[in-house]
A and B are shown apart, each in its own frame.
Chain A
Amino acid sequence: MATNAVLISLCSFAVLILAYFTYGRFLARRIFRLDPNRPTPAHTKQDGVDYVPTKIPVLFGHHFASIAGLGPILGPAIAVIWGWGPAVLWVVCGCIFMGAVHDLGALTVSLRYQGRSIGDVCSDLIGHRARFLFLLIIFFLMSLAMGAFVNAISALFVKFHPGAIIPSFGLMLVAMCIGIAVYRLRVGLGPATVVGLIAFGGLIYWGVQQPLPTYQWFASDATQQLLTESRNAGADVDHGSIAAAQVLQESGHESAAADLTAAATTASRTWIYVLLGYGFVASVLPVWLLLQPRDYINSFQLYLALALLVAGLAVAASTGSDFNVIDAAMIRDDPQMGAPPMVPFLFVTIACGAVSGFHSLVSSGTTVRQLDRETDALPIGFGAMLTEGALAILVIMSCVAGLGSQAWEAGGAYASWGGIGKGGLGVQLDAVIHGGANFLSEVGVSERFGQAFLAVTIVAFAMTTLDSATRLLRFNVEEIFRSIKLEPLANRYFASLIAVGGIALFAQPQGAALWVLFGTTNQLLAGLTLLTVSLFLFKLRRPIIYTLIPMGMMLVMTAWAMAIQLDGFYKDKQWLLFGVSVVVVLMTTWLVIEAILSFCRGRGGLSIAHDDEDPHDDQSEVVSATHLG
């Protein structure tokens, strides 16, 4: 019997909602003991700048937009190679028992520490070494993520969607015009937005009509001639180098196809350098000119893409469309697939979408300072993570149902790990784009337009992140040098060089291995945060099992995946990835030692407001319970 994608999605959403009202409330009431009457830092330190008491709908919007991005798209898109069942199960269970606990825990601990960031708190609770470990993890995390993004964009531009090039770069010009109009000429935000969004639509149309096959620029004259002839004969060779090479191969021009594949590799590398250069230039431009307005447009793209995907899935269900049928197997455990073992790799491949250490930075750095009441931490911390899980479920459905059965057959995108793993990260994004566009076609958006829209949205997210991450990574590098007392190296030029160099190092085409490394580092950060939360609960004599088990699982999965990866990288002589894996293993070991030492130190030394140590009386428990429903 065919499996119904909408049914699976609805069941997953129902479990997530149920978890919110049961496990979420249990944690909030009994473990973190959120009290609506205890003043939050937003009130005690209210300054209208960072500390602003904010209503739930406002803060939820800010928080969700801060945690949801490219992460919950890429990870699930890779992980469905092991089948849709494990991916859905891990997203749902991971979200409920780990991700949401992690986010809620980080938010609560930071609340009790008067809005201090998790990095700050963990150095307080664990020790000064923990701060250095924290900085180091962030450096690898950001460099790896940015390397993966650059890698994926270049693959998208060359191998899959040359139609996204004009709209992606055109969007920069549109963003700059909006920036000048809104921030300098003081044009109204509404009219500027409407004009900007119309221009964005027009650019996508232009891109669809006029793709830029940049791979062709690097091919020999004879191959170019053949491509032109094929195009004139009506062959569909505008879809990227992979489709073009296939057309040449099918028409018997095998040497030309090989030449084109080599040209595509050169084009991908060239794009990587262009994007790195872009990252550097964009990071020194004034923010109002490009980053601010494009990020503003990004928010519309995120909401629009989400709304269209949900609507498409709903229409597919109501009309009984083929896209409502899951084509992938529930569990794929075929050794011929060549994929690494599902356990532990599934748990590090889907990081954002199930549990992400990055969320602790958003929860503790920004969101906590705006919580109106302590009990709001439940919908914001726990609820937003579950919503991100729902987004990951949609992505999984786009890949396993929206993509069609050919993706799972021989020669398809998910036929083997070799196809998705070593072909660069663009393959997974292409799967999401194709599957998502099929859902969009259910609501009347043409397939090519839908593909371009999703491709440009993903590229825009990645480029804005690249811009801001390059700025922030410099600060991070400076802080690392300061931490190890190497002040002379903590100057902006050297730090910028290290920051861009770090991204460049990982931006080389490494395929899914790069993403797995990123996922592992992200889980390591989640482990560090969960350790901080566990210690906090331990010192307050509260049950720690709910945070300690997720922490243990994060560390075990991380170490296990790294051990397997290390062996593979050594055998394949991939020394860069081998080196990074060694560093990750060392950081994991370090974290385990710090955890043991922290618990051995006992319960003393808690420097939060003393009233928290007093167990809540029955009355305050009742009040909390009433506010949590």
Chain B
Amino acid sequence: MPSETKPVPQVSIILIRETAEQMSGSGCCGRVAGDPCLTGSRDAFQEVRNQQEAFGILHRAVVEFFADQQQRGELTIVTVDPRNQPYLIPKLVKDVWQYRPGWGKGLCSTLQFFSLPAVIVNGRILSRRGRLLDPDALCHAVNEILTASKAQSLRREYS
């Protein structure tokens, strides 16, 4: 039986933002911010929460507009807390290696020359100085990549 290789998604989106529930130092005995029963649904970390919600808009926009592509595995989207460096660093290196955004841009991504929160698409930093990205701009950028990729595969097919 031929072995099936997992296709490389055409678009890889990394949303880097903090999670309010993740903040409390020594884990175990402090991270109760996620339990509305304890906190009466109040947010101890309001600013982070606002950012989370703003990123939710980006997430929903991508999921909504590119549902088919996501289903087919052509697009992946991942939300990471910057504290999770053991995952984030290899993921950034992998994306830069896979999508080759260019030396400068690749280096900026892997060395994390972005401020929080950040949006990285195919190894390229899309957000500017921690300013929140417009959902339209993100969808537009993703669409461009998908269209270019489609055109390329068509060219390859006919040549």
Q: Name the residue on B nearest A471 (C-beta).
A: B44
**Is A394 an interface position by the 8 A CB rule?**
no
A46 CA / B36 CA spacing, docked (Å): 18
**Is A65 an interface position by the 8 A CB rule?**
yes
**Cβ of A187: which chain B residues have Cβ within 8 Å of it?**
115
Q: Tell me if B21 and A365 are in contact (CB < 8 A).
A: yes
* Set B19, B56, B113: member contacting A190, Cβ < 8 A: B113
Contacts A48-B63, A292-B18 given; indicate if A465 touches B26 (C-beta within 8 A). yes
Q: Name the residue on B nearest A369 (C-beta).
A: B34
Shortest Cβ distance from residue B116 to the other chain A in the assembled complex, whole angstroms: 6
Q: Tell me if B39 and A476 are in contact (CB < 8 A).
A: yes
**Cβ of B39: which chain A residues have Cβ within 8 Å of it?**
472, 475-476, 479
Shortest Cβ distance from residue B11 to the other chain A in the assembled complex, whole angstroms: 16
Chain A binding site: helix, strand, loop or mixed by DSSP? helix
**Cβ of A286: which chain B residues have Cβ within 8 Å of it?**
47
Contacts A119-B37, A365-B35, A472-B39 given; indicate if A298 touches B25 (C-beta within 8 A). yes
**Is B73 an interface position by the 8 A CB rule?**
no
Contacts A48-B63, A361-B38 given; indicate if A469 touches B112 (C-beta within 8 A). no
A600 CA / B18 CA spacing, docked (Å): 45
Contacts A187-B115, A361-B35, A472-B38 given; indicate if A356 touches B82 (C-beta within 8 A). no
**Is B79 an interface position by the 8 A CB rule?**
yes
**Cβ of B87: which chain A residues have Cβ within 8 Å of it?**
57-58, 61
Q: Tell me if B83 and A299 are in contact (CB < 8 A).
A: yes
Contacts A69-B25, A366-B21, A467-B25 given; indicate if A58 touches B113 (C-beta within 8 A). no
Q: Tell me if A69 and B27 are in contact (CB < 8 A).
A: yes
A352 CA / B71 CA spacing, docked (Å): 40
A298 CA / B81 CA spacing, docked (Å): 14
A472 CA / B31 CA spacing, docked (Å): 9
A388 CA / B25 CA spacing, docked (Å): 16
Contacts A61-B87, A186-B130 given; indicate if A54 touches B79 (C-beta within 8 A). yes
**Is A575 an interface position by the 8 A CB rule?**
no
* Set B84, B111, B112: member contacting A61, Cβ < 8 A: B84
A359-386 interface code vs B (CB 8 A; 1 in, 0 out): 1011011100000000000000000000
Q: Which of A286-304 contact B (CB under 8 A)?
A: 286-288, 291-292, 294-296, 298-300, 303
Q: Which of B58-89 contact A (CB under 8 A)?
A: 58-60, 63, 78-87
Q: Tell me if A300 and B85 are in contact (CB < 8 A).
A: yes
A61 CA / B79 CA spacing, docked (Å): 12
Q: Tell me if A464 and B26 are in contact (CB < 8 A).
A: yes
Q: Tell me if A365 and B32 are in contact (CB < 8 A).
A: yes
**Is A397 an interface position by the 8 A CB rule?**
no
A23 CA / B27 CA spacing, docked (Å): 26
* Set B27, B48, B113: member contacting A292, Cβ < 8 A: B48
A291 CA / B45 CA spacing, docked (Å): 10
Q: Tell me if A479 and B59 are in contact (CB < 8 A).
A: no
**Cβ of B129: which chain A residues have Cβ within 8 Å of it?**
186
**Is B147 an interface position by the 8 A CB rule?**
no
Q: Name the residue on A nearest B63 (C-beta).
A: A46
Q: Which of A450-479 contact B (CB under 8 A)?
A: 460-469, 471-472, 475-476, 478-479
**Cβ of A47: which chain B residues have Cβ within 8 Å of it?**
56, 59-60
**Cβ of A149: which chain B residues have Cβ within 8 Å of it?**
26, 29
Shortest Cβ distance from residue B44 to the other chain A in the assembled complex, whole angstroms: 4
Contacts A61-B84, A69-B29, A120-B36 given; indicate if A48 touches B24 (C-beta within 8 A). no
Q: Tell me if B22 and A49 are in contact (CB < 8 A).
A: no
**Cβ of A294: which chain B residues have Cβ within 8 Å of it?**
25
**Is A448 an interface position by the 8 A CB rule?**
no
* Set A62, A69, A142, A471: member contacting B84, Cβ < 8 A: A62
**Is B96 an interface position by the 8 A CB rule?**
no
Contacts A182-B116, A362-B31 given; indicate if A70 touches B80 (C-beta within 8 A). no
Q: Name the residue on B nearest A61 (C-beta).
A: B84
Q: Tell me if A479 and B56 are in contact (CB < 8 A).
A: no
**Is B40 an interface position by the 8 A CB rule?**
yes
* Set A134, A300, A465: member contacting B24, Cβ < 8 A: A465
**Cβ of A469: which chain B residues have Cβ within 8 Å of it?**
24, 29-30
A292 CA / B81 CA spacing, docked (Å): 12
Q: Tell me if B48 and A365 are in contact (CB < 8 A).
A: no
* Set A66, A182, A183, A365: member contacting B27, Cβ < 8 A: A66
Q: Name the residue on B nearest A464 (C-beta).
A: B25
**Is A332 an interface position by the 8 A CB rule?**
no
**Cβ of B27: which chain A residues have Cβ within 8 Å of it?**
65-69, 71, 362
Contacts A48-B55, A299-B83 given; indicate if A55 touches B78 (C-beta within 8 A). yes
**Is A325 an interface position by the 8 A CB rule?**
no
Shortest Cβ distance from residue A470 to the other chain B in the assembled complex, whole angstroms: 10
**Cβ of A120: which chain B residues have Cβ within 8 Å of it?**
36-37
**Cβ of A463: which chain B residues have Cβ within 8 Å of it?**
25
**Is A117 an interface position by the 8 A CB rule?**
yes
**Cβ of B45: which chain A residues have Cβ within 8 Å of it?**
287, 291-292
User: Which of A120, A292, A359, A364 has the largest number of chain B CB atoms within 10 A?
Assistant: A292
* Set B40, B57, B114: member contacting A189, Cβ < 8 A: B114
**Is B119 an interface position by the 8 A CB rule?**
no
Q: Tell me if A472 and B57 are in contact (CB < 8 A).
A: no
Q: Tell me if B28 and A67 are in contact (CB < 8 A).
A: yes
**Is B33 an interface position by the 8 A CB rule?**
yes
**Cβ of A468: which chain B residues have Cβ within 8 Å of it?**
23-25, 30-31, 33, 44
Q: Name the residue on A nearest B41 (C-beta).
A: A475
Q: Tell me if B130 and A58 are in contact (CB < 8 A).
A: no
Q: Name the residue on A nearest B90 (C-beta).
A: A57
Q: Tell me if A70 and B40 are in contact (CB < 8 A).
A: no
Shortest Cβ distance from residue A116 to the other chain B in the assembled complex, whole angstroms: 9
**Is A488 an interface position by the 8 A CB rule?**
no
Q: Name the residue on A nearest B18 (C-beta).
A: A292
User: Which of B37, B63, B115 has the largest number of chain A CB atoms within 10 A?
Assistant: B37
Q: Tell me if B56 and A62 are in contact (CB < 8 A).
A: no
Q: Name the residue on B nearest A121 (C-beta).
A: B37
Shortest Cβ distance from residue A82 to the other chain B in the assembled complex, whole angstroms: 22
**Cβ of B114: which chain A residues have Cβ within 8 Å of it?**
188-190
**Is A358 an interface position by the 8 A CB rule?**
yes
10 additional contacts, CB 8 Å, given A48-B55, A303-B85? A145-B30, A146-B29, A191-B113, A286-B47, A287-B23, A352-B28, A365-B33, A464-B26, A468-B31, A475-B38
What are 7 A-B contacts defined by CB distance under 8 Å? A66-B27, A119-B37, A146-B29, A191-B113, A361-B31, A361-B32, A479-B37
Which B positions have Cβ atoms within 8 angstroms of A? 15, 18-19, 21-40, 42, 44-45, 47-48, 52-53, 55-60, 63, 78-87, 108, 111-116, 118, 129-130
- Which 10 A-B residue pairings sit nearest by Cβ, starting from the closest? A48-B59, A464-B25, A190-B112, A365-B34, A119-B37, A69-B26, A49-B56, A48-B56, A69-B27, A461-B26
